């Protein structure tokens, strides 16, 4: 005989496993998009490439060139001596008002 406590533990274990698998697959898709990101050179043609895309935005792209500026510091390569790179993080946060019917506020 199976006790209700065992059923509860089994159900919660399955629910957490499903949740973590969903999060894993979601992050794996993002990693695949980043790995397939096109490599573009920083030159005079870059604004034309960006304006030709849908929404004038490239979701993931690797920029190469000497005109790339670092904000804080450049990162030296561990595999190739004399190679340096930069990471710039851009976060676009859109604020919108949503009516909360429970608290009756925006």
Same domain, 43 and 60: yes
In a domain, 26, yes or no: yes
Q: pLDDT tens-digit profile of 69-103?
A: 666 777 777 777 887 777 666 666 666 777 778 87
Cα–Cα distance for residue pair 70/68, rounded to 1 Å: 7
Query: 49 exposed, middle or buried (CB, 10 Å; 0-12, 13-18, 19+)?
Result: middle
Residue 81's pLDDT is: 83
In a domain, 7, yes or no: yes
Q: pLDDT tens-digit profile of 19-58?
A: 999 999 999 998 888 888 888 887 888 888 888 888 777 7
Residue 105's pLDDT is: 77
Neighbours of 70 (CB within 10 A): 12
Cα–Cα distance for residue pair 88/62, rounded to 1 Å: 11
Q: Averaging pLDDT over each range in 15-19, 29-33, 61-65, which range is the top one?
A: 15-19
| Model-wide pTM > 0.75 | no
In a domain, 77, yes or no: no
Residue 90's pLDDT is: 62
Range of the domain at 20: 1-36
Centroid of chain to Cα 24: 13
Cα–Cα distance for residue pair 45/13, rounded to 1 Å: 53
Same domain, 29 and 4: yes
More confident of the two residues 95 and 4: 4
Q: Is residue 18's pLDDT more than 70?
A: yes
Number of domains in the chain: 2
């Amino acid at each position: 005989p199976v006790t209700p406590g065992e059923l509860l533990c089994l159900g919660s274990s399955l629910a957490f496993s499903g949740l973590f698998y969903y999060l894993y697959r979601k992050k794996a898709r993002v990693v695949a998009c980043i790995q397939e990101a096109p490599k573009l050179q920083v030159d005079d043609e870059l604004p034309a490439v960006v304006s030709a895309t849908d929404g004038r935005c490239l979701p993931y792209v690797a920029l190469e060139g000497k005109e790339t500026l670092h904000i804080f510091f450049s990162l030296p390569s561990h595999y190739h001596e004399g190679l340096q790179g930069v990471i710039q993080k851009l976060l676009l946060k859109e604020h919108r008002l949503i009516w909360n019917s429970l608290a009756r506020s925006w």
